């Protein structure tokens, strides 16, 4: 079963170039190669059910206002970081694209009840045998 793909439009995504953190010498101090991606979920063109599931996800990248913020800084290239951030956003949307399956309650079978009771009686006999012996 393939998952329905809801493509995130690049026109709905806001990119901001920032300086990357961490080691990298002078290059890190001079070049704004890291990318902040901001995606406003309520204002997006995604279907309403996908929006609701995306906002319900417990993820620290989603703000209280429903904006997804992703920071990409793995590459020295700003373009590569843009592609990486967009791919991570698409992965997040794909994770909630399919609705969860409805759980239907089932009853235990007669055989499983019998096996459970048999196990309980065996355990009861083992524990009873541990008691004091009366002569």
Over residues 59-100, the pLDDT tens digits come to: 899 999 999 999 998 888 899 999 999 999 999 999 998 888
Size (the chain), residues: 135
Q: What is the mean pLDDT of residues 101-124?
A: 96
Residue 19: its pLDDT value, please?
85
Q: Is the pLDDT of residue 1 over 50?
A: no
Confidence of residue 131 (pLDDT cuts 50, 70, 90): confident
Residues 3 and 39 sit within 8 Å (Cβ to Cβ): no
Mean pLDDT of 9-35: 82
Distance between CA atoms of residues 122 and 115, nearest Å: 11
Which domains does the chain carry?
A: 10-95 (3.30.160.20)
Q: For the CA atoms of 34, 62, 46, 104, what is the dihedral angle to 10 degrees? A: 140
Closest residue by Cα to residue 41 from 17, 62, 20, 58: 62
How many Å from the N-terminal Cα to the C-terminal Cα in the chain? 68
Percent over 90 (pLDDT), the chain: 58
Residue 5 pLDDT grade (very low, low, confident, very high; cuts 50, 70, 90)? confident
The model's confidence at residue 24, banded by pLDDT at 50, 70 and 90, is: low
Cα gap 28→34, rounded to integer Å:
9
> What span, in angstroms and rounded, lies between the C-alpha atoms of 20 and 60?
20
């Amino acid at each position: 079963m393939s998952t329905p793909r809801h493509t995130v439009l690049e026109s709905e995504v806001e990119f901001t170039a920032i300086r990357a953190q961490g080691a990298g010498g002078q290059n890190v101090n001079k070049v704004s190669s890291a990318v902040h991606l901001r995606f406003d979920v309520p204002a997006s063109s995604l279907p309403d059910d996908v929006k609701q599931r995306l906002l319900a996800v417990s993820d620290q990248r989603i703000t209280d206002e429903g904006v997804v913020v992703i920071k990409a800084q793995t590459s020295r290239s700003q373009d590569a970081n843009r592609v990486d951030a967009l791919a991570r956003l698409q992965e997040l949307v794909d994770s909630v694209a399919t609705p969860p399956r409805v759980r239907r309650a089932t009853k235990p079978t007669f055989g499983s009840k019998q096996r459970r009771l048999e196990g309980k009686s065996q355990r009861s006999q083992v524990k009873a045998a541990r008691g004091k012996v009366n002569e």
